[in-house]
Amino acid sequence: QKEVEQDPGPLSVPEGAIVSLNCTYSNSAFQYFMWYRQYSRKGPELLMYTYSSGNKEDGRFTAQVDKSSKYISLFIRDSQPSDSATYLCAMRQVAGGTSYGKLTFGQGTILTVHP
Amino acid sequence: DGGITQSPKYLFRKEGQNVTLSCEQNLNHDAMYWYRQDPGQGLRLIYYSQIVNDFQKGDIAEGYSVSREKKESFPLTVTSAQKNPTAFYLCASTGDRGPSGYTFGSGTRLTVV
């Protein structure tokens, strides 16, 4: 079993739709949770990060973490064609001492928002 | 501007050749990472380094080698022992022990011909 499982999609939605992207994880040591957006043939860019259960909002994006269920989500409101990309969830254990910790990624979800 | 530079953007390798991918950062970050990305598999960790002259194997290190002689540089060599090297390779760095994650380069697409 992989430590992080991401709903693979792909997803295709009309402009203006609400998008929900989801990941589950099995390692209780994960404490930091991130969402990255990756455009074709580019490096991933960090969208949001959080380290506590609950919701975190940034503009049209909301990150949700439920540690008791080991489940995280990213919601995109009023989706735009420019949101078309691959979305990757990533998780990290608490870094201690000299360890910066490594990220464990989900498989990625390809999102297409059509006009 | 600070960032991570990967070169070349596209690389072609013949069977049996070793090739080296470059990764340079001017962010003064201590930790650097190499990931491989294949369709439908997300990013998988090849090697990482938390300090100069030290590095550790990741989940798929076989057929790869690295060096970390300078803080700014973390080159990856794909050896002939790597059986399926065609992939998108991403370099990343972080200077943060907290939750904010990595800064990624723009990647190198390696194709075996």
- pLDDT tens per residue across span A50-101: 888 899 999 999 999 999 999 999 999 999 999 999 999 999 886 554 445 6
Predicted local distance difference test score (pLDDT) of residue B97: 61
B contact test, residue of A7, A39, A92, A102 with most B CBs within 10 A: A102
Q: pLDDT per residue over B1-34, tens digit each?
A: 679 999 999 999 888 899 999 999 999 998 999 9
Percent of chain B with pLDDT over 90: 70
Cβ of A45 within 8 Å of Cβ of B104? The answer is yes
Residue from the list B40, B58, B107 with its beta carbon closest to the beta carbon of A8: B40
Averaged confidence pLDDT in chain A = 90
B45, B25, A44, B109: CA torsion to nearest 10: -70
Please report, as a single letter, which amino acid is at residue A19. V
pLDDT of residue B99: 59
pLDDT at position A96, please?
A: 56
> In this prediction, what percent of chain A has a pLDDT beyond 70?
93
Nearest Cα residue to B21 out of B84, B68, B66: B66
State the DSSP code for A95.
Answer: P
Handedness of CA A104, A36, B92, A54 (dihedral sign): negative
- The Cα A70–Cα A50 span in angstroms is 14
Q: How confident is the model at residue A37 (pLDDT cuts 50, 70, 90)?
A: very high
A84 touches A17 (CB < 8 A) = no
**pLDDT at site A98:** 44
Q: Which residues of B touch A101 (CB under 8 A)?
A: 97
